[in-house]
Amino acid sequence: MRPLTTDLTEGGKRPYFLWDEDISIDELRERLRSAAPYERERLLGKMLREARDIDVWHFVTPAEVARALPNVARRVGRRLPFWTFLIEGWRADGLLRE
């Protein structure tokens, strides 16, 4: 398995939040961009559950999270209230459109 890293610019290493999968940062970006919906939702849900919120934005936009949240909610676990609060707050403040 590739070594874990918190430096998300090291494309060949494994991001710390995918501690149980041997997927590099570059591979994760590509899968989030082009994988089948099930695989994309699986990875996004895992990222929303395991990664620090500021690190999520290295891979997806707030609009992408907002669109996907209903589909990945069951994968996010105890972090779901945080992501729901964040997205709803941004919408209420006009920072994020439906």
Cβ 69 vs Cβ 81: under 8 Å:
no
Predicted TM-score of the model (pTM): 0.93
Q: Indicate the residue type of 78.
A: R
Q: Please say if the pLDDT value at position 18 is more than 90.
A: yes
Region 92-97 average pLDDT:
93
Residue 98 corresponds to which tokens in the numbers above?
């439906």
Which of helix, strand or coil describes residue 93?
A: coil
Q: What is the DSSP string of 43-67?
A: HHHHHHHHS-HHHHTTT--HHHHHH
Query: Which range marks the domain in which residue 63 is found?
Result: 4-92
Instruction: Identify whether 97 is part of a domain.
Output: no
Q: DSSP label at 17?
A: G
Q: Averaged over 7-27, what is the pLDDT?
A: 97
Confirm whether 32 is domain-assigned. Answer: yes
In a domain, 56, yes or no: yes
Please give the tally of structural domains in the chain.
Answer: 1
* Residue 98 belongs to a domain: no
Question: What is the per-residue pLDDT across 19-62, written as a single tens digit (0 to 9) for each?
Answer: 999 999 999 999 999 999 999 999 999 999 999 999 999 999 99
Per residue in 76-97, is it b (16+ CB within 10 Å) or e — as a string? beeebeebeebbeebeeeeebe
**Of 72, 93, 97, 98, whose CA–CA distance to 83 is shortest?**
72
Q: What percent of the chain has pLDDT over 90?
A: 97
In a domain, 31, yes or no: yes
pLDDT confidence of residue 97: 84
Given a cut of 90, whether residue 98 has pLDDT beyond it is no
